[in-house]
Structure 1
Amino acid sequence: MDLNADLGEGFGRWVLTDDDALLRIVTSANVACGFHAGDPATLQRVTALAASRGVRIGAQVSYRDLAGFGRREIDVPPDELAAEVAYQIGALRVFAEAVGATVAYVKPHGALYHRAGRDPGQAAAVVEGAKLAGVPALLTQRGNALDLVAAEAGLTVVGEAFADRGYLPDGRLVPRGLPGALLTPAEAVAQAVSLAEEGVVTAIDGTRTRVAAETICVHGDGPDTVEVATSIRAALIQRGIDVEAFS
């Protein structure tokens, strides 16, 4: 099972994530590309560190929304959004290639992740941006609009699930701000194990819901992120589950 985390989400003197610690735990790094977080120096530092530790590098692309951390939905025309996605990937690629690495995949962030998951037009724009930049793979939840559009366009789709987020009975995430949206550290570890072993989560109403995933995300902006990610990795290994980048 692959473990991914959102990294490089600081900006200037503001540091959000313990990138150094997480890059000793995860196998894939979703590096913020400057639209919701991240700046050139941060991109360069995180990319070099990921490459030095053999962690796969992905572009975490977003709506242009630094003030809202990319969690505000913005109506961007599809052609403009495709260009912005490619632009963000290109910024990351410069630093990846400088250290002999590649940008292996793209993962939308925040509002763009959820909008593209239900809006085929926005999904197509994300896919077009990824293709324009030559990125072969995309991370998203299985069965949503982005999954279907990306697969039809010939991209490799990597099914993603979340260790630290609550689920609705239909397999969607509980919206942030609602009860049950964020799990406790113990709940996150238990959910990650259930996902890896059975492909199942327990939704907020107690329903056992199937969630297909090849990668599990641990959000990088939580107060206990490093501890949770460490515990998840240890729990998976203890159960004989290999923790390695997706193929």
Structure 2
Amino acid sequence: MTGLSATPDPAGEWQQLGQQPVVVLVGVTGVGKSTALSALTGLRLLPDRRDVTDAVMILPLAGQPVHDREERFALTARYRELHPGGMAQALGSLYADPTHWSGPLVFDGLRGAPEVGYAAQHFPEWRFVSLHAPDAVRVRRLLGRGDTFDQVGHVDQVRGAESSDLRSTLGDLKGVGDVFSPAELDDLAALVDAGSSASEILAKTRIVVSERRNYDPQAARRVLADLPQRRHLELDTVRLSPGEVASSIRRWLP
């Protein structure tokens, strides 16, 4: 990561990100962070969560790159056992070269109450844009975006959905009942009639369920609700159009 280091420079000129103004996007996969980023013109975009995770959490623990979502969740959970601030603690501890990273910065993004709470408490210069959308909407958005990072293991199970009862397979996913109601699972299974493949529906649903096991979006929103308005902007990306999301962020920025 150019201009960033986990250790201070010998000259003492690099400053930790936790001491600098940073606008942080908060939200899980599929809530609309890409739209929000497009509105944050004039701010320097820090390396994203995946890059910081790879450099600070995954490689030190696994010794090699890991692409499977569930394996990554397991490794980041191990990191959080040692560092309760998780990604917030990892990012805030990085030293930044002022010749490369100057002015307001933006980071995509923090997830869950422990990360958000740590950042809000320890880094008073940070401000937060909280984005949210229902889990079923997130599955639909994942089906449409074609991100190569949205992949899971257990390929045989995923492919098997093509020839088995998709609704039953969805209902058998670990923890699915904590995220989706039976009616929502019916609607997701019915997406095959709209042109989505059964294997993709199952894969994207598993991503959302796995993510919810590790991060509670509602808890993060409750933590941020206690912050003053100048530090927190909450946006519903279903109620607001992409243009309205962008306009809201621009009005909120100083």
TM-score by length of 2: 0.33
Q: Which has the higher strand share?
A: 1
Q: Which has the larger radius of gyration?
A: 2
TM-score by length of 1: 0.34
Q: Which has the higher helix share?
A: 2
Query: Which of structures 1 and 2 has the larger relative contact order (alpha carbons within 8 angstroms, sep 6+)?
Result: 2
